[in-house]
Structures are given as C-alpha cells and as structure tokens.
Amino acid sequence: MNYEKEIKKLAAEKGALILAHNYQPAEIQDLADITGDSLELARKAKEAKESTLVVCGVYFMAETAKILSPEKTVLIPRPDGGCPLADQLNPSAVLAAKKAHPGSPFVVYVNSNAATKAECDITCTSANAADVVRSLKEDTILFGPDANLAAYAQRLVPEKTIIPVPQDGGCPTHHQFSVRDVEAARREYPNATIICHPECSPDVQLASDLVGSTGYMIRRCGEKKEWVILTEKGIIHPLQKKYPDTIFHGIDTAVCSNMKLITKEDLYITLRDGVVPIQVPESIADRARLAIERMIGASA
Ligand code: 13P
C-alpha cells in the first residue's frame, strides 16, 4: 500500500491535522502538517481549526492537546509510547512538596501526566522554563520532575530559589551524556559548535556551547557550518532538512524508544479507524488546563 498517499487522502477526508514532535521517525515527520518542539505543538494544537488532531509523539503530548481542546477528537497512533520522565512525579509527591513549602508555587514540566499537572500551578517546557519561573512573584519555586531542567532554569534565574522535586528526576535518554562525551566531541570535531538539550546534566550544559529546546536548535543551527547535537537523534532529520549544507553529528545511542514506535501503518490505521482517542476526566482536565494556559500566557 502507498501509505503516504492513503494517509494524506484520509487526513483530508476527515479534516484531521497531523502534528509530530521533532524526535519522531523521519517518515512520520515528513507526513505531518506541523512539526515542532513541545511548546510549539501545544500552541498549534490549541489554535488548530481542525476537529481532529493526530498527535505523533509520546502520550503526554497528545494528552496536552486534548486538555487544551476538549471539544476536538485527539488521536494518538501508539498510546503505549509513554515518557519515563513523566512517571517520576505523581500527584501525591506534588501535594507533599507543597505542604512542606507552603506558599511556593509548583512549576511542572509538560513531560508529566495530566493528574500531576492538575495539582500544579503552571506548566513549562524546555523552551520557556526560565520565562515561566521569572513570571512568578514568589521567590521559592518547586519544580519537577526534571532536575536538570530545574538546574538550567536556576542558572538563568539566579534571583529565585528553585527546589527540584524529586531531587534526581531525569530523562534516561539525556542522562547518558557526560562531560567526557563533550570533551571527546571537541577533540573529534574541533570546528563544531556543541549544543545540548536542557534535560542534559548541569555539567554537560556548562561544557556545551549552547543549551536549548529542540525548537531552539532548529532556529540556531543556521548560524554555523558544523554542529554536535546532544539530544535525541530524531532531531537530526529536521535539522538536515532545513540546513542541507550543514554538518550535524548526532549521538547514535541517543534514541528514545517510545518516540520511535509510530510507523506509517499505525498512522494510517489511526486515521482510518479513529483510534486511539485520548480521554482525560473533566475534573483533571479542567485543573490541568489552567496550568497549561498560564504557561502559554507567561511565554507569549
Ligand atoms: P522539546 O520541548 O525541546 O522538544 O523537548 C521535548 C522532550 O520531550 C525532550 O525530551
């Protein structure tokens, strides 16, 4: 079957918009109407006129789209694609941290489950973590589940005290990078600029030349001719597409298996059969929406 043709035909017939994260397999990104980082996808999902959204990403991304557009049908081709980072913070840990630090707002990374977001004051993504922290009037901020992103925000907003919850939350794909990798990359590619994601450890962030979200990487990588990219390898596809004459060195082991589940066949079946629709209980969605909309307002 010519999946590309059938997917485009079905999407047009059903008035569906296909959104894909920058880490998705290349063929899925190429079939999408919109690609982007977590913040860009959340914004586009909210603004979309289409009544059906197909979110090619991990579960929390589709959940975020559904929370922002409860009237739309939001489909995810592979609901088994979770985020190991999201599972590192649950609602009771948020409530316990708030009890231990009365009056301190909780900033929750979008890489979290809806029930956790519902207990938090505001969400953030890697693209706007510092802006979100700065937007809060309080001096002490609870932040989770990514302790590396918390450290990044702390470095950019030194006037606040950011408490990571849990102390050591992190993404296994980004956690594998070490300063030794950065040093080895500098030896091997002396002319390259090294850019890492803020989910990398603070040491790796400091050893790199630039730090930013996947969307930031796509914006900045036109500035130099050779780069070492320290994030999930899927990002190399949109980078190479946008900057065909630039040299990108990705890290072969930096693969998020959850991000790589969706195939063209899955996407075709999703559109054909309308599966799998995301459901978020209203009592959770209403509170989580407040946290996500506050973020969108804070980083406009
Ligand atoms: P971005 O928001 O930078 O695309 O990152 C999403 C993510 O899940 C990183 O692991």
Domain co-membership, 63 together with 90: no
Over the stretch 57-111, which tens digit does the pLDDT of each residue have?
A: 999 999 999 999 999 999 999 999 999 999 999 999 999 999 999 999 999 999 9
Domain co-membership, 77 together with 90: no
Domain boundary among 129, 144, 170: 170
Would residue 124 count as lying in a domain?
Answer: yes
Over the stretch 35-62, which tens digit does the pLDDT of each residue have?
A: 999 999 999 999 999 999 999 999 999 9
Query: Quick check: 220 and 212 in contact, CB under 8 A?
Result: yes
Query: Quick check: 81 and 259 in contact, CB under 8 A?
Result: yes
CA of 13 to the centre of ligand 1 (A): 31
Q: What is the CATH number of the domain that holds 152?
A: 3.40.50.10800
pLDDT for the residue 146 = 98
Would residue 127 count as lying in a domain?
Answer: yes
Domain boundary among 147, 170, 193: 170
Would residue 297 count as lying in a domain?
Answer: no
Would residue 16 count as lying in a domain?
Answer: yes
* Tally of domains in the chain: 3
pLDDT for the residue 300 = 64
User: Does 40 contact ligand 1 (Cβ within 6 A)?
Assistant: no
User: Does 128 contact ligand 1 (Cβ within 6 A)?
Assistant: no
Would residue 299 count as lying in a domain?
Answer: no
Domain span at residue 153?
Answer: 86-170
Domain co-membership, 153 together with 179: no
Would residue 294 count as lying in a domain?
Answer: no
| Regions of the chain with pLDDT less than 70 | 300
- Name the H helices within the chain: 3-14, 26-31, 38-47, 59-68, 91-100, 114-118, 129-135, 147-156, 172-175, 179-188, 202-207, 214-220, 236-242, 264-273, 282-298
pLDDT for the residue 105 = 98
Domain co-membership, 99 together with 146: yes
Q: What are the backbone angles phi and psi of residue 275, rounded to the nearest 5°?
A: -120, 150
Nearest CA residue ID for atom 8, ligand 1: 111
Would residue 43 count as lying in a domain?
Answer: yes
Closest ligand 1 atom to residue 214 Cα is 3
Q: ipTM of the predicted structure?
A: 0.96
Would residue 189 count as lying in a domain?
Answer: yes
